[in-house]
Every structure is written in C-alpha cells, then in structure tokens.
Homo-oligomer: A and B are copies of this chain.
Amino acid sequence: MKVKAGLVGFGTIGTGVVRLLGEQDELLSKRSGVEVALERIVDIDLERGRGVNTGHALLSSRFEDIVDDPSIDIVIELVGGTTVAREVVARALRAGKHVVTANKALLYEYGEELFQLAIDRQRELRYEASVAGGIPIVRVITESLAGDRICTIYGIVNGTTNFILTRMIQEQWSFEAALKRAQELGFAEADPTLDIDGSDARSKLAILASLAFRCRIDRSRIAKEGIQRIDLTDVLYAKELGYVVKLLATAKERDGEVSLRVNPTLVPEQCALANVSNEFNAVMLQSKFLGDSLYVGRGAGANPTATAVVADVVDLAIRLVGKQAFNANAYAPIHDYATRSYLDTRSRFYLRLATEERAGLLAVITKILGDHGISISAIIQKEATGDQPIPIVLLTRQALERDLRAAVQAINELSFVHGPTVILHIEDIRL
C-alpha cells in the first residue's frame, strides 16, 4: 500500500531525503511492506540544481500546496528556523497529518505547544533527526528502553565543537586554528556562534532529557558554557592527568529532580566516550536495568540526517498502512520533576590558577577550598619559567557547585592570583 508524503524544505538534508527515498525505494518497500511516495516538494528556490532525481514529485514554492492537500499523509519539515517551520508543523498537524522534523531549534522553542497540538489531534510529531543526526537515540529511548528507567544522559551532540576539541588535543592546535580548519572542511558555519557557545547542544539536551525523563524541563535552569574560552593549556593539563576535554551535555535525574548542563568537561581518556573524535556525536545513557550504553554516529550531514528522517517516515507509513492507532502521548510528560539549578548539583572540578611565587601559596589556596568543604584529589604545580605567573592545577573531589564557585571567587580575590581561575567539570565515566 502507498503512503503519500510531502517535503517542505529542499536544502541539504531535503536533498538527502529525496535521494535516499529515490535510490532505496525498492529495498524500502521490500523490507517494510509499504511504499512511500514523495508527492510534493516545496522550497522557495526551485531553480538551483541539486543533482538528485525528484521522481514524479510536483515542485512548488507554497507550503500550502502540501499542508492543504488532503491526499498527503505525512509532512516532512526541513525548513529550519522557527518561524515558517512552526507554521508548517502546526498547520500540518491541524490538517490531520503526521509530521517528521529535524528541527531542534523549533522543538526547543515551541516543542510544548506543538506536541500538545499533536496530542489534541492524535497525530504524531516525530523528530529522530533533530538530535544527534543519524544516531537513533530517540527510538532507543522510547522503544528499546521502554521498560527501563534512565537516570543519566551524557552527550557529545555538537559535531563542530567536537571537531575543534579533537584537533586541539591530537594536533595541539589553538582554538582559532582548529575552528578555521573546521570551517574549511564544512564542519563549522561561517558564523559558528550557536555551536561554539553551547546553544545548539543545549537545545538537543533539553529535547533528549524531556524524552528520557518524561518531564517538562525548565529551560531557564540549564547551565550553559561553550568552548570559546578553552585554552590549549587546559587541554594539555587534562591529558597529563589522564583526561580528555569534551563539550559534554549532561542531564541527571536524582530523587525526583532533574539537572541539565552543557559545558567543557574532563572525561577519563580510556572511556569509549573520550575516543569519539572529530565530527562524530555520541550519546551515553545510564539506566537502572540496562546499565551503561553508548550510541555513536554522525550528528550532521545530508545523508546521515536523511537516514533518521526516512526511518521516521517509514515507521509512520507502516502504522498508517496497518491502520494502527497512534500514540501521540508517547512523548508527553508523565513525571512532575523540578529542574534543579546547576548551583545545587554536585560534581568534581578541574581548576587552573595563575599565581605569583610566594611561600605558603598552596596552604592559603587549599585552606580556602577546605573552608568551603572542598577536598583535593590531585595537584600539579610546575617550576616557574622566567617571571610568568605559575600555573597551579587542582582536581577536586565531589563538591556542590555553589560552594566551589564561592571558593573560587575568594581565590580570585587573592592579591597574588592573576586573572580568573579556569573551572571545568569532571565526570568519571567508566564505559
């Protein structure tokens, strides 16, 4: 049986979807028992050559030609942004269509409203491609771990920053040199701000956490720090201490409260997550029954993302053909967890201070930390070269972030400490 789809947004990913549906047409129908027919493609630019066969699909520049066409069953939204995309998704759901999107910014900004609309209309809004591209993490969480209880998510969900950090670690490049190379290779945009400052990772983490914990996330309480201030010095100290610096998206559920943060984090160099390199993404889950599990793949790019979009389309098509009732509630909140401020969460920390040489230096600093209830697990202090400030690197044991920040503020106020102390998180990941 044939299911009819319409595509809005014929850009990079859209082209990948058209190519995949075209090339794999026969295999898809053999495997799944359904035929997905791409009936219409909408884009404002219909002139540009995409090097892909659009088959029998009608091309149009008006998305109304898809959302108002009663013969279309599934709308694929690949417009990007949060204005037109929001209208496309909302109108499609209202018109009784199922929607597949890859738009994490849309879900971050308007997810609550759009999922509620899907529930009201008993239609599905699927979004596998919106988080970690081709990694089937949404399906793993909703289906494979349906009977489990996820308590922690660790994600490397931004390929641009992972590429930059990998090159800093492996080639000892500066941040600027690594960013330039990422741009040359197409792994970073001309304006990479939303990747570099952690905003992109934050959107994805919020989507993943609301799904894994089945609760609403207070977005104002997600801690966010990018990699723009990461210095090669810190990357090298981390290495010396047996750690690798990653831009880690972390979400935890503990005792009915959730906490979310995106920040540069030290992870042990021998864990599999530390070895997810370059543009690759990874999501690690810790759950009650399965324990640790890790999913790695390409988080961006036309073909990987298209794979995820097509998987969602085929899954919807199978259900449509089977006349199966849709469970729009599958993504709705179940739990009423509060979002805890990052200041009230505990972590281990990496601190790097620049100080003048003087007697009793370490005694003063460790006393301040001790007074705030913070113990130290490792120290590196190297001999001074010339009259450069002396760097001191400290690793702490578990501490409340509020206490840690208070202690660091006191340290920064010391007359012999130069400039702000670098603070990075440490996560002792085993897998």
Contact = CB atoms under 8 A, between A and B. Distances in A.
Contacts of A325: 321-322
Contacts of A290: 134, 297-298, 303-304, 307
Nearest to A313: B147
A26 to B, nearest CB: 10
Interface in A376-424: none
A421 to B, nearest CB: 31
A276 B134 CA distance: 21
Interface in A276-304: 276-277, 280, 282, 287-298, 301, 303-304
Contacts of A148: 20, 24, 307
B324 A293 contact: no
- Chain A interface size band reads 35 or more
Nearest to A322: B324
26 contacts: A20-B148, A21-B147, A24-B149, A30-B334, A31-B146, A32-B330, A33-B327, A134-B293, A136-B143, A143-B311, A144-B308, A144-B311, A147-B314, A270-B275, A270-B277, A272-B277, A272-B296, A280-B292, A289-B303, A289-B304, A291-B298, A294-B295, A295-B296, A319-B322, A322-B322, A322-B325
Interface of A: 16, 20-21, 24, 27-28, 30-33, 128, 134-136, 139-140, 142-149, 214, 270-272, 274-277, 280, 282, 287-298, 301, 303-304, 306-308, 310-311, 314-315, 318-319, 321-325, 327, 329-330, 334, 431
